Structures are given as structure tokens and as C-alpha cells.
Chains A and B, each alone.
Chain A
Amino acid sequence: MDTSRVKHILTIAIVLLTIATAVAQRGKPPAPPTLPPILMTCIHHPDVLESKPGTCPYCKLPLVPVRLDSAWMCPVHTTVTESNSGKCRMCGRQLVPVTVSLTWTCAADRATQHLEPGVCADGSPRIGARTLRAHGNHNPQHGGQFFMAPDNWHHLEGVHPSARLFRLYIYDDYGRPLASAKVKDIEARVVTKENFDTATRKTTEITAFPLKAPRNRAYLEARIDPSTLPAEMTAKVQFGDDQPEYRFDFTFPAFSKEPATPTVRPAVTQPLSTPAVPPASAPASSSELDPLAPAPIPTSMSGMLEQLEAREKQVGELIARGDFAAVWVPAFQAKDIAIALEPHVAHLSPDKRDAGEPALSRVVRTAWLLDAAGDVGNRGQIEAVYAAFKAAVADALAAFGEFR
């Protein structure tokens, strides 16, 4: 085909596209040209993003449209959303990168969210909103250990394939690998030996190796001194010159093995909802509970207290072996038991009541803190939270001691 014919075809195509677009937009105000494209996602699995309609590969529900954009947001005041990095104008915290969904509503019908600007029935323009998207896949994709960075956007997977090798995969907030060009800009090192001075609370690195991106690879890697299993090592990562350095504590009970297909671990993808009513049956013994399996809340007071104690111990065991991402499961089970115990506070003697209700509130609060700390993989933080959780459970058990 010669050049003039190609130009002819393209000209006709452009004209047709223009006409088709004009027909589609008839009666509507023109959309701003800078709007990001509409993608299709799953209402339960936000990491599923497709360019065309279909069904979710995980739950088979029909995909729904969403318009996503990137922005910089205050980690606390999410109404502060800017186009560029900087500081929150309300609290001065460093803004973090986020993915937001763009929607428009009308004042008279805020429940209906539209994916484009336009005019409401009363003639007023639709009100635009940027909503923080829930996070996507929190599952390791290379057989390693997965954490979320404290900036709530970057995600990492540490992989220890052999005794002398450590790799760090970097993902965005949907578990999508970062492009190799962006990975190269990340400053990181892996620390295999360090000392922590409890008096000064300062850490001194003894052995550390810079993490570098191998040629044409979208991950960081370091050759390290030979490890012995279980291997503990810490990645210290800075995602940008104006960003703080984050710490991620990895524990590898065995060498990482690349899965044939991406690992899916449903038990840690979403928090469990609190059962409204405790089921009638309960396991025979709390000591037999699987820390990663939800269990019904016992109907008896002694059963609840026994399970509360067992869940606290399970949290400690998971932390001890470095399985931070799983900690929320027994922590939330303990939280659900604390909520189930709340109505029984009224049956306690006055002095026990004084101690009981605050202790249950602390169990709930520290369980949620464990969930947050488990995501970011900082051993110091999660151990501090666990100490508070353990003390809260102990106080609750003491308050309800007469029922044990």
C-alpha cells in the first residue's frame, strides 16, 4: 500500500471517529481532554483492572467501570490531594503518591456517582470528587514475603532464593510491578547484621549490601554473605530524595521458590468481618485452633476467655517467626472475642468492671494496630504493638478471671 493510500484511509478513519464521538457526546457537555481512561475493575478485587468488560478472574463477578488517576495525598487528611509532591497544608506531613478514582455527583443525588463531568438536572455542574482507592493484591508473586510501605503506595516483596542472594521486587498500590526505569531510581540496601542499643535506642549496621537493579531487570538485587535458615535480613529503602527511609524486616524460614503461578493466599487479602451473632458451635479446644483460620466465637464465657488467650499467644508466635502479614488473623479473632465479651462487663463486680471495659477497648484498638503494623513489616513497631496487645489481653483476662 503506498503512502497516499495510507493517508487516505487514516483521514477517513479520523473523520469517522470524530463523527462517532460527536454523536456519542450529543446533548452532553464535552469531557475535558485530560480525563484518564475508563477501566473495568471488580468491586471485591481492586487489583483487577481490565480495558474491556468481562468477569473477575477471582470471584467471577461482572467487572464495573472506574476512572483512575494518580495524585499526591496526605496520609492522614485525605481531603488534601495535590497534583504534585509536597507537604500537607493541614499538618505538614509529606504527601504520598496515591491512586484515586474520579467521580462526579449532583447535589440533589449524591448516591449516584458518574464517571464524567456534566450537568445536573437542575442545570448546575456535577461536583467532582477524588476517592482513595482500596489497595490491591497483597500476595507475594515470587514466593517471598510481602509488605506495604508506610507511604501506603509502594509494596515490596523480599525474596531469598539462595544462601547468597536477596532480591527486592517493588510494586505499586495494585501489586503491579514498578517499571525498571523507576526501580533504578530507588535507593536501597539489605542489612544482614546490625546491633540495637536499648539504652540509646540507636541501631548500628554491621553488615549491609547495596541493592542494585541488574541490567534489564525490574527488581533490586544484592549478593550477600551466606545465610543460615531461618534467615533474617532488613531492607532499608528510600523511594525518592524527598521521602524518608523505610525499614522492612524479612524472615525467611526457607529459601524462596518461584511459584509456577502467582501465589494467592486468600486468608490475608481482606480482614474478616465481625460475626454479628456468635455461632452455636465452637471448637473443642482453643489450643487446636489454626492461627490462620477463622473460628466461631465460643458461646460460653470460659470458652471465649480461653480462645482470647490462645489468639494472643498465636499473635506472638507469628511475630516470633516473622510472619507479620498473617498477624491480623488471630488479632482480629481476639478483637471479635473482646467485642463479644463487652455485654458481659455488666456482670462483673464494680472493681473488675472498672478494669474490664477499658481492657476490652484496648484489645480492640491494639488488634487494629497489629493489622496496620503487620502490613508494613517493621519488627520494632509490631513488637511494640504486640506488647500493648498482650498487656490488654492480660488485663481483660484478669478482669474476667472469675469466669475462667
Chain B
Amino acid sequence: MIGRTAHATAALTLIALGLLISVEPGSAHKPITSPYNYNDDIFPILRDKCGRCHVSGGVAPMSLMTHAETVPWGESIRTEVLAGHMPPGTVDEAPGRFRNASGLSPREMNLLLTWATGGTPIGEAAKDPKPVTRDTAWPLGPPDVALTLPAEGVVGADDRERTTEFIVPTGITDRRWLRAIDLLPGNAAMVRAATIAVRSAATSGPDPVTERVLARWLPGEDPIALDAGLGFELPASAELVVRVLYRKTWEYERKELRDRSTVGLYFASGTPAGVQAMHLAPDFTAVGSADHFAFRRVLTNDSRVLAVYPEVGLNNTAVKVVATRPDRTRIDLIAFHPRPDWSRRYWFREAIPLPKGTTIEVTALFDDETPLLPLSLSPATATRPDLSSMQLTLNVVP
């Protein structure tokens, strides 16, 4: 009996030792199918195309500036890139015609998708990228005049977003011309968008208004300075109207955030040609249905088009703006999806001359991309936008 007991005991001891050997801790692995790695291939793309927002302290809810920070978001990167949502601000046609519409190149897109779905490898440790910090300098250099907002913008602990309007006296007593206008966030983690306008009657232009937009500010976008000989008019003793959209990400749930941003004004030299705003909105020319809406406007003066921007953002909407000159030649000005919260002003690389009598036609189409998306749990049908609310503005000079 003792012998059998000893045998059984020995056997159990061996099993125990075997278990210990088999569970001896080691390094974990996961399947890697991506030939591209973070250090060599992915980081440069993320740094250049995403790093202005996706950096520690940036407005995006996560940094993508290290491998460890990026890996948990691999699936999010895949879906956002596939959906065409990130990086934002690209146009549907001819991105090269604009100064600020570059998105991912075909190769960059493929690298990101291959890496995100292929095990997110890191690459050689010796090639770990240097730490990236958020750039807090003015992209165009120190402005001629820096105007700090007169009060703090606050998003309370129980709020997620808030739009706050600030009236900012310029204190500039003579008429000046501006080549660029910028905004430097005080708290970059909460400043999601801003519009900077000047409040006073325009002295000229096709649409005299009491408030003219000088700048549309979005995170991650450098301001565009006007070419020499062009300028935005800043009337004497003008007041700026600065509307800031503040939004907290999930990182700051139940926390109060405060901001005090600064507006930067860059003066143009001499007496340049004044940049005017031409509003394109539905009028008696408007025709359409729930899926299709179009309207047009005829130029009453010779103009050069510098930029175009949407006044509203609409989901699932494809917008196209086409100019037809009196000689019947056509030029496609822009084709894009005006996404809410990403109302970018697109600057043409070269001003587009349009003679008096040119017809500018705006077409808005319901473009349901829902069936294409891999977001299997997204709504089965897209929310239909109110296409008749589509409005755009062209920046023109005579």
C-alpha cells in the first residue's frame, strides 16, 4: 500500500512540477502580419498628419505620438480612415488645387490600415521616435497685435461643450489691413473651433454686412497668409467678435475646464485690395428635393476667387460648386463634404478669375455613405440632412 501511495505521490509531484514548468512566465506575443512598423513607417505619418491634435495636451482625446499610446486605438484608426473621417478637411476632387486640403496619400492610407489590422508592430527599439510635445508658438511668428480674450471660456464639470462669444475691442484707431488672423488657444485641450469676425459695416463689396468673417480657426490647421497686395479690411476702432466652440473629450468628464485664448493680427503692408465676402445662399433660383438641392448666383463684377467655406456643416451631404463663365467654359471650384464642426475655409493655391456674368451653381446631394462603412453597429439608415440649409461664402477680390 505504501508503495502505491508513494507512486501516486511521486506522479502527482511530477504533474505539479510539470505545471510549474508549463506556466513559467514569459513574453507575450500576438500575430503580426503587417510588414510596416510604428517607428519606421507609422509614426512619421501620424506626426505630420495627426500630431497637431493627437499629442499630449492637444484637442484630440488621445495622443498618437508613441507606440504605447497608439496601439489601443488601432481599430479606431482603421474605422476613421476607412470612413474618410480622419484626417478631416480633405476635399473630394483636386486637393492639389487648394493650399490646405491635403489628406492621406494612397500609400499613407494603406500603411495605416495595414499596420492597424496587422498586429501594430513597434519596430526596432533603437528607432523609437523622440518625444513629441505640443507646439505652443504662433505658426506665422509673433503677431503684430495680440489680443487676449477679455474673459475666460468655461465648460463646467457637468457640461460637454459650450459656444462662447467674446467682444474684443482692437484699440486700433485707424483703418488697417490684415494679411492673416490667427488664434492661439490658452487651453488647447478644449478649444475645438473658432470664428473671428469684425463688427462694423463694410464699406464695399457685393454683400455689405455688419459682421464680416476674418478667420475660421480649426485645431491642427495653420493660418493662411494672404499674398502681397491683398488684405482684410479692419475699420478704425473696430471690435472683433470671437465665437469659440469649447468641447471636452471623455478624458475630462466631470472636470471643469477653463481657457483664455489670444487672437493674433498680422498687418498687411501698403493699401492692398480688400478681400470681400460673397454669400451663396438659396434664393428664388433654388430647385430640388430631399435628395438634391441646387441654387445659383450670377457675378455682377469681375472677380478673383481666393477661398470658399461652408456656413453650415451637414452630415451625409456632397456639395459641389461649379462656375460657368459667359463664354460657357466651366470650372469646378470645389467638391467636398461639409462635415459639422470641421467648417474649414479652403484657400485656392491660385486665385480663380471669373468675369462678370459668370454663373456660380451650388449643388448639394444627399450622399448616404452608411452602407459603405465597416461600422457595423452604426445606424442602418443615415440621418437625412436639410439640404436647403446649405450656404457657402466665397472670398473674392475685384
Listed in ascending order, the chain A residues whose CB lies under 8 Å from chain B are: 1, 5, 8-9, 12-13, 16-17, 20-21, 24, 37-38, 41-46, 51-53, 64-67, 75-79, 89-90, 93-94, 96, 101, 103, 105, 110-116, 129, 131-134, 150-152, 201, 244, 246, 270-271, 273-274, 276, 335, 338-339, 342, 353-355, 357-358, 360-361, 363-366, 368-369, 372-373, 376, 380-381, 384-385, 388
Contact = CB atoms under 8 A, between A and B. Distances in A.
Contacts of B4: 1
A65 B26 contact: yes
B28 A9 contact: no
Interface string B6-38: 001100110011001011111111111111000
B94 A355 contact: yes
Contacts of A363: 106
Greatest chain B CB density within 10 A among A94, A129, A133, A372 is at: A372
Contacts of A150: 376-377
16 contacts: A20-B13, A46-B30, A79-B62, A79-B72, A101-B30, A103-B28, A113-B28, A129-B72, A271-B117, A342-B105, A363-B106, A365-B109, A368-B113, A369-B373, A372-B374, A385-B372
Contact of A270 (B16, B33, B76, B92): B33
A44 B31 contact: yes
A93 B377 contact: yes
Contacts of B397: none
Nearest to B380: A244
B125 interface: yes
A339 B1 contact: no
Contacts of A338: 106
Point out which of B28, B103, B117 has the most chain A C-beta atoms below 10 A from its C-beta.
B28
Contacts of A385: 371-372
Given A89-B250, A364-B106, A271 B26 contact: no
A76 B110 CA distance: 19
A369 B210 CA distance: 47
A133 B76 contact: no
A-B CB proximity, top 6 nearest: A150-B376, A354-B94, A13-B12, A372-B374, A384-B371, A113-B28
Given A12-B9, A271-B114, A52 B22 contact: yes
A319 to B, nearest CB: 14
B122 A111 contact: yes
B23 A38 contact: yes
Contacts of B34: 273
B31 A46 contact: yes
A20 B16 contact: yes
B104 interface: yes
A152 B377 CA distance: 11
Contacts of A376: 376
B150 interface: no
Contacts of B13: 13, 16, 20
